[in-house]
Amino acid sequence: MMTVTVCKELIDTQGINKFISDKIRLVASDEVIDLIFENDSIINM
């Protein structure tokens, strides 16, 4: 199972909060480094 995670600050800055599914995990920018070490693959889009 793949988890989609997005940086919350980017979503807030772009004003697209209402378009983000509840299934997408939002994280603070300072949590991104932890995610890199927790996961086998990271896709940056």
Asked whether 8 and 20 are in contact (CB, 8 A), the reply is no
pLDDT of residue 17: 85
Tell which phi-psi region holds residue 21, choosing left (phi > 0), alpha (psi between -120 and 50) or beta.
beta
Question: Residues 6 or more apart from 4 whose CB is under 8 A from it?
Answer: 23, 24, 25
Domain ranges of the chain: 5-38
pLDDT of residue 44: 61
> Rounded to whole angstroms, how far apart are CA atoms 1 and 10?
24
pLDDT of residue 36: 67
Print pLDDT tens along the chain (45 aa): 677 888 898 888 988 888 888 888 888 888 877 766 676 665 665
